[in-house]
Amino acid sequence: MHLIMARVLLAASGFLLCLEVALANEGDYELKSESVQASEQTPDSWAARYIAKKVDAFSASDIEFSRTRSNAPFLPLAYAGASYYDEASVRGLLDTGEDLGYRQTSASVAAGLPFLLNQSDALVLGLYANRSEFQVDNPEAVGARDFRVNVAALGLGYFKQWSEDWQLMGFVLPFYNDSDLETSSPYWQTMGGVFTRYTASDDAWWLFGVFADTSPYDTYWLPYVGVSWTLNEKWTISGVMPWPQVIYSPSPNWFIGVGGMISGSGWAIDAEAGAVNMDVNAFDVGVDFSHRVYGSLWASLSAGVGGLRALQIQDGGEIEGPEFDISSSPFIRLDLTVRPGDMF
């Protein structure tokens, strides 16, 4: 798993900010307060033309995503990827309270489709699908050495430009879960959140909110806070917790991000019911190298340590974590993403 928002959060604010409009990528560094117009070049594919049309519509609206120049591209509108986690650890919902060790291979796709309602309001329709295969270290815990999980989700996000400096965001994302564990039966899991973003200056903004995850087998919520600071066109500090990153982008065609990432190894298992929950409570630490392949298509290679656990508040007020056991959980991930921007 990895997106989710589009990685899961298609998840949280990442899911809702997938339309962020980047300013011009060449020239001297200069602060701007207005939205940038789309490139005058005519796209040569239907997908590029559709994205360019959306960029034009949002550029002409009152919705404002960025006020400063940066080479770093904005978040994906769509992606497809695969990942491998070695010796990752799942949060224990077993009767013994033990964590479950496993190796995991996953493939997933996600996309967000934006709709401008008026000059200050927008909706985003999102979809996500994931297939993960697990090799279990202690098969007696779940009654199987190998098992698979299929996940599908269709969600809705809302975005409002409340004032010049304040924005309101929210989303709901129901998941259909199905595993081939012997005692398993399909069930629904729902993620959602409410967030507000405050633009403090031309080169910095703050994000506050709460994220919740509920299913018949597990319920928790996460406080959410972060900041993004663009130092100049090459350097950006993204302090959105629990995934802080330093991003270096020397040109509009490639960038490197170092720090936290939404994890694909976050799962919670109820062994008795055979239920397997996605758990965005986990996060990875590593390096992400991304390069523009053609137009708005980017390729990304990520590697590092996976399965760290962030602060979590269980249903009933119980607080769990953070946990930082990183002794044996390396990961590698390859993604293809569509990032609206320059079209060729």
pLDDT in tens, 31-58: 333 333 444 455 556 666 766 777 777 7
Q: Dihedral of CA 12/266/227/32: which sign?
A: negative
Can you count the helices (H) and strands (E) in the chain?
A: 2, 18
**Beta carbons of 336 and 80 less than 8 angstroms apart:** yes
Answer whether 146's CB lies under 8 Å from 138's CB.
no
Of 138, 142, 131, 94, the closest CA to residue 109 belongs to: 131
pLDDT, tens digit, 9 for 90 and up, residues 85-96: 887 655 554 445
Residue 334 has pLDDT above 70, yes or no: yes
CA distance 307 to 219: 19
The sign of the dihedral angle between the CA atoms of 182, 184, 185, 186 is negative
pTM of the model: 0.74
Contact criterion met (CB below 8 Å) for 37 and 24: no
- The model's pLDDT over 206-264, given as tens digits with 9 standing for 90+, comes to 999 998 988 887 787 888 888 999 999 999 998 877 678 999 999 999 999 999 887 77
30-67 per-residue burial string, b: 16 or more CB within 10 A, e: under 16: eeeeebeebbeeebeeeebeebbebbebbbebebbbbb
Per-residue pLDDT of 137-160, as tens digits, reads 777 766 677 889 899 999 999 999
Confidence grade of residue 3 (pLDDT, cut at 50, 70, 90)? very low
Write out the two tokens for 205.
């903004």
Instruction: Answer yes or no: are the C-beta atoms of 42 and 56 closer than 8 Å.
Output: no
Q: What is the pLDDT of residue 249?
A: 94
CATH code for residues 12-338: 2.40.160
Confidence of residue 324 (pLDDT cuts 50, 70, 90): very low
Bridging pattern class, strands 267-270 and 78-92: parallel
**Is the alpha carbon torsion for 274, 109, 243, 203 positive or negative?**
negative
